[in-house]
Chains A and B, each alone.
Chain A
Amino acid sequence: MSEPAGDLTWIDAALTAARPQALAALLRYFRDLDMAEEAFQEACLRALKTWPQNGPPRDPTAWLILVGRNVAIDETRHRARQQPLPDGDALPDADDKEAELAERLDAQHYRDDVLRLLFICCHPDLPATQQIALALRIVSGLSVKQIARAFLVGESAMEQRITRAKGRIARADVAFETPGAVERAARLAAVAAMIYLVFNEGYSASGDGAAMRLPLCDEAIRLARLLLRLFPAEPEIMGLTALLMLQHARTPARFDADGAVVLLEDQDRGRWNRAMITEGLALIDKAVRHRRRGPYQVQAAIAALHARAAQPQETDWAQIDLLYAALEELAPSPVVTLNRAVAVAKLRGPAAALAMIEPLAGPLNGYFHFFGLKGALLMRLGRDAEARTAFDRAIALANSAAEAAHIRQHLDQLAKEGRAGVANSE
């Protein structure tokens, strides 16, 4: 079958897809990230040269690993002997026996290789933003320019940040032996948390920067899918992937034309991404069968209940309340309780929800959403003066102009209705 002439899209897609596995195998081989990256880069250049003529190799990943390895070895020899490199056309093709051998050897290891590659980005000494930047650069292969744009910083600043982070992990001791079950589980958990960070970095953006940062959500989903392909029977990885998809499915409806926040219950559900919802629901259904509950599965189950409600009023708040209660046990945090209070407000009214969040005033003292919800509950209870105080505090804590604008709407409503001091309980 002939490929359309000049259309190199398929090569790009193949190189992107092969990157984590090929780079991870080269890292195990060289035990040096910079060398592995250079070797992979060189292999990609040769792929761009030879694949359009010869067609894609049967196994692009194995091809890239083998060529990357040979190129680096040739390079070393070349430096030693000052001899010319062999011609690019002498490279192995799809039927090369060596390629098959490389594939066989690497298939046994590649799961742990890719996990290791992801894991080195999660070094606990690295702040979250550096972990994310590193994963995007190394594993996803985004350019420094692309990453800088997503983080809304200059290219040279991002370059420095990544170089520093790389220096940090180069000095860290990452074991190259095949990890035991406990070590593997620990790595998997760290990597899942890092992928979730990447996603949130994109998802929590709003306002002018939102469009720039949304690719981070796609990247996180790609990484989660990669992890799921490696660990296809891990319910928490199914849960993580489902969670990201079910949340990202709402993206087209989350902001209005002016970039203002549209709350879940006001979103046009017809704009939700059905394909992502289908896949997310399929994954959470699968995960639940394992009967090994975990925080990602519970959060995905909550997102699934929202996704399944065609109208906001069809939302199963009782079930959501139960799931948040389960999450409070699995991964207790004041933010989880705050979210549960939203379900409680739907089920049992604003007074019950307010009672639930009052003990959170201490730990969530600097948290925008705490004061946003508190203000909204007080407003519904007709305690307008207190509501106004809470909204003012929320605006002071807003993370973006869009968040602040959203709270200002409430304040405007209070002012318009002239409800100051008038009890107006529901």
Chain B
Amino acid sequence: MLYALLCYNDEAAVCAWSKDEENAVMAKLGAVTEKLAKQGRLGPVARLVPTTAATTLRKDRNPPLVIDGPFAETKEQLLGFFVIDCASLEHALETARELGAANPGGAYEIRPILQFWPGSAGT
């Protein structure tokens, strides 16, 4: 089954990483994703621009309302996601632990994917 691993972390803390720290985290993550790719389990991966660059379209009214930033004030923000093929929740947790060891702090929200369209943009 496909799982989405949604990466939440304190954006301010991640922005405070030095270039060396950033490169070290990316290298460690790269080693894990490479392994997953070899196993044929790695789907799309995205890293998002910080929420200060985000815009929200509230469509619960007509016309929809456009506001700056994400709606909720939270300590941790959605910073990116992985789509990974896992046999079970235990398997997904194990993978999340591996990725987490490469990228400390924050949380992964593990969500089974209901419907998936791989698409072709950006490929």
Residues of A within 8 A of B (CB): 1-4, 7, 9-10, 13-14, 16-18, 56, 58-60, 222, 225-226, 228-229, 232-233, 238, 241, 278-279, 282-283, 286, 289
Contacts and interface: CB of A to CB of B under 8 A. Distances in A.
Interface stretch (B45-53, B78-86, B110-118): B45-53
Interface in B83-108: 97, 100-101, 104-105
16 contacts: A1-B104, A7-B104, A9-B104, A10-B13, A13-B13, A14-B13, A16-B13, A17-B13, A56-B105, A222-B16, A225-B50, A233-B67, A282-B53, A283-B52, A286-B55, A289-B55
A286 B49 contact: no
Interface residues of B, number: 25
**Residue with the highest number of chain A CB atoms closer than 10 Å, among B13, B17, B49, B100:** B13
A283 B53 contact: yes
A228 B105 contact: no
Nearest to B69: A232
Given A1-B97, A4-B101, A232-B69, A13 B14 contact: yes
Contacts of A232: 52, 68-69
A372 B91 CA distance: 64
A289 B66 contact: yes
B65 interface: no
Contacts of B121: none
A149 to B, nearest CB: 15
B109 interface: no
A14 B11 CA distance: 10
A9 B28 CA distance: 14
A229 B68 contact: no
Contacts of B1: none
A283 B10 CA distance: 20
B32 to A, nearest CB: 14
Given A4-B101, A59-B75, A279 B66 contact: no
Nearest to A224: B52
**Residue with the highest number of chain B CB atoms closer than 10 Å, among A18, A283, A286:** A286
A378 to B, nearest CB: 42
B37 interface: no
Contact of B50 (A58, A279, A286): A279
B96 to A, nearest CB: 9
Contact of A225 (B52, B101, B105): B52
B52 A17 contact: no
Nearest to B55: A286
B12 interface: yes
Contacts of A282: 49, 53
A14 B105 contact: yes
Given A17-B16, A59-B75, A10 B105 contact: yes
A207 B21 CA distance: 27
Contacts of B100: 1
Contacts of A283: 52-53
Contacts of A7: 104
